[in-house]
Chain A
Amino acid sequence: MAAKDSGGQSQSQRSRQEEDAETTEAAVDPEVAERHEEITEEVDDLLDEIDEVLETNSEEFVRSFVQKGGQ
């Protein structure tokens, strides 16, 4: 009986879950998109920050970084 119950339950659960998933997907989609946008913005922001602080002439900067060997 328990098995049957749980079987029935799980079946109804499954269909409910599927439904939930569909509605959630549809409902949450803008949020996901928003979060995705946020992440993209964060990355852009970070890259802009790098641009801001990066030595202006990177080629000259890299070329003139010459060290004597150490240990």
Chain B
Amino acid sequence: MGTEIEYGISVPGQPGANPMVTSSQIVNAYAARPEISKGGRARWDYEEETPLRDARGFTYTGALYDPAENLADEDTGLANVILTNGARLYVDHAHPEYSTPEVTNPREAVLFDKAGEMTMAEAAHRAAHSPGIGAINLYKNNTDNKGASYGAHENYLMSRRTPFADIVTHFTPYLVTRQVFAGAGRVGIGQDASEHGFQISQRADFFEVEVGLETTLKRPIINTRDEPHADAERYRRLHVIIGDANVAEYATFLKVGTASIVLSMIEDGAFDGSLAVSEPVAELRSISHDPSLTHKVELRNGKRMTAVELQQSILEQAEAYCGADADPATREVLDQWAFVLDALARDPFEVADMLDWPAKLGLLHRYRDRENLDWGSHKLQAIDLQYHDVRPEKGLYHRLVKRGSMKRLLTDAEVMDAMVEPPADTRAFFRGRCLARYPSEVVAASWDSVIFDVGADSLVRVPMMEPERGTKEHVGELFDRCVAAKDLLDVITAE
């Protein structure tokens, strides 16, 4: 699994600044880090499906990709970097985006998601100190409150055998209601925030249909993009586009941890369909617009329950499914899920030190009381926005952490380490290590390939169609042994 986050970007005093240009400046500023710039930067390999030994003049075909993405790459001078931790930092749809390396557990998903935030903070700092570039501010949020929204996506590897219809039926009730713990909070109702008020989710008002392929218009609760970046016969990559960008570590932990459990249950046919929601799109908004958490969701079988109660039903089934022999990582998710739902049922502010929306709403309430402001106040909107500022000195989430007001899963040292070190137990290890170890020889890479130029007649493309191969256990020793990329390729091709 992994996350991909588009960050809000703005140049103080210049609302008209071209975001394609500023996003590229951000990416390029970070790419000046020595471990990335030494030996020349590797390109993104857009050639997807055909493993090949290509001619030296390797060119992108890009057929499977959005033209805007290719344009960003060509026009602005490679605003696209692959990091030594296996992540991808690039420009997507006029935003800088960070895609984490592939990980196998929710704690590491949080770790690399937070590493992305720190990467963005450093990129902005570097940009501000580069000649000819001024301050560029980055926000890990999902809307400008003027009608635009940008994504915080999650990806989950699933078995190709699971019927897509099962995912639609059983994942939808979960996705519609999980905002009670995974919402990031928002000042403003409606896509353009024309109605004043606070709501639980940043993204809820931007979803218009139940199922579909789109991600930028008529956004669907369940996205059907089918691009596994792996062996398509065996795997599906479920692209979840409905989530908010969380900054609270426990919110991200629960978001990806509970989603993984629910998807495993769907693969194993553990749900009976009794939680199907009558009007998912409308309910998504109604739940978001009710921070008191008292709104009752109507189910297809006529029952009515709150979003928290619906989540508790899913949890109950998850407990039965996982049983007493759940592995420790799963156990931790189940226990935190239960703890948070119980607290939410009593008083959401009990978990204001764990979740984004209660933390943000708590700040807003106090500020509002002191200043006697109404929800249309610019100050409250500014607090909402600045909660997501990635700068440690300016971001209000960061200030809460500094005061000891937020519970954490990770230390700063762990996160800093994850900015450069790949996860050990996926193919991201191979990708990251190749870039760290053979920076001059790796000319391109993607989720499922690394392409080398070792001075032979043709480039050598190493396909990585199995996400759980190329781990430290599998290839770690090779990197110790092979001083040059050529040595590594000799071993791999001999196998």
Interface string of B241-270 (1 = CB under 8 A from A): 100000000000000000000000000000
Rounded to whole Å, the gap between the CB of A42 and the closest CB of chain B is: 9
Q: List 29 A-B contacts (CB under 8 A).
A: A43-B366, A46-B363, A46-B405, A47-B370, A49-B399, A50-B363, A50-B367, A53-B386, A54-B382, A58-B379, A62-B378, A62-B381, A63-B15, A63-B378, A64-B10, A64-B13, A64-B15, A65-B15, A65-B139, A65-B145, A66-B10, A66-B148, A67-B143, A68-B94, A68-B95, A69-B147, A70-B95, A70-B216, A71-B150
The answer on a CB contact under 8 Å between A67 and B386 is no
**Is B230 an interface residue when CB atoms closer than 8 A count as contact?**
no
Asked if B93 and A69 sit within 8 Å, CB to CB, the answer is: yes
Contact of A70 among B148, B363, B366, B381 (CB under 8 A): B148
Q: Are A70 and B394 in contact (CB under 8 A)?
A: no
> Is A55 an interface residue when CB atoms closer than 8 A count as contact?
yes
How many pairs of A and B residues are in contact by the CB < 8 Å rule? 100
User: Which residues from B are CB-within-8-Å of A5?
Assistant: none
Known: A46-B366, A65-B144. A55 touches B153 (CB 8 A): no
Shortest CB-to-CB span from B4 to chain A, Å, is: 9
The answer on a CB contact under 8 Å between A62 and B150 is no
**Chain A residues near B150 (CB-CB < 8 A):** 67, 69-71
Whether B386 pairs with A54 at a CB distance below 8 angstroms is yes
Q: Give the size category of A's interface with B.
A: 20 to 34
Alpha-carbon separation in the docked complex, A34 to B382 (Å): 33
Contact with A along B392-419 (1 / 0, CB 8 A): 0110100100010100000000000000
Q: How far is the CA of A50 from the CA of B12 in the complex (A)?
A: 19
B17-45 contacts to A (CB < 8 Å): 19
Residues of B within 8 A of A43 (CB): 366
Q: A71 to B6, Cβ gap below 8 A?
A: yes
Spell out A's residues near B (CB within 8 Å).
43, 46-47, 49-50, 53-55, 58-59, 61-71
Alpha-carbon distance A71/B379, docked complex (angstroms): 28
Looking at the assembled complex, report how far the CB atom of A13 sits from the nearest CB atom of chain B, in whole angstroms: 30
Residues of A within 8 A of B153 (CB): 71
Interface size on B, residues (CB 8 A): 44
Report the minimal beta-carbon distance from B471 to chain A, rounded to whole angstroms. Answer: 30
Of B6, B92, B95, B394, the contact of A53 (CB 8 Å cutoff)? B394
Q: A49: which B residues are within 8 A, CB to CB? A: 399, 403
Contact with A along B202-223 (1 / 0, CB 8 A): 0000000000000110000000
Q: Which residues of chain B come closer than 8 Å to A59, judged between CB atoms?
A: 378
Residues of A within 8 A of B358 (CB): none
Is there contact, CB below 8 Å, between A53 and B15? no
**Is residue B116 contacting chain A, with contact meaning CB distance below 8 A?**
no
Does B151 lie at the interface of the complex (its beta carbon under 8 Å from any beta carbon of A)?
yes
Nearest 9 pairs of A and B residues by beta carbon? A70-B150, A58-B382, A68-B94, A71-B151, A64-B15, A67-B144, A71-B215, A59-B378, A70-B93
Chain B 374-390 interface mask (CB, 8 Å, partner A; 1/0): 00001101110110000
B148 touching A67 by the CB < 8 A rule?
A: yes
Give, as a whole number of angstroms, the nearest-CB distance from B117 to chain A: 17
The reply to whether B19 and A71 form a contact with Cβ atoms under 8 Å apart is: no
Judge whether A71 and B386 touch: CB under 8 Å. no
> Within the complex, which residue of A54, A64, A66 is in contact with B379, where a contact is CB–CB below 8 Å?
A54
CA distance A19 to B95 in the complex (A): 66
* B146 proximity list for chain A (CB < 8 A): 66-67
Q: Give the complex CA separation of A66 and B367 in angstroms.
A: 25
A46 vs B396: C-alpha distance when bound (angstroms) = 10
Determine whether the beta carbon of B148 is less than 8 Å from that of A68.
yes
Q: Mark B123-155, 1 if CB is under 8 A from A, else 0.
A: 000000000000000010001111111110100
Most chain B beta-carbon neighbours within 10 Å: one of A43, A47, A55:
A55
Taking the closest CB of chain B, its distance from the CB of A50, in whole angstroms, is 6
Interface core residue of A53, A55, A59, A62 (most chain B CB under 10 Å):
A62
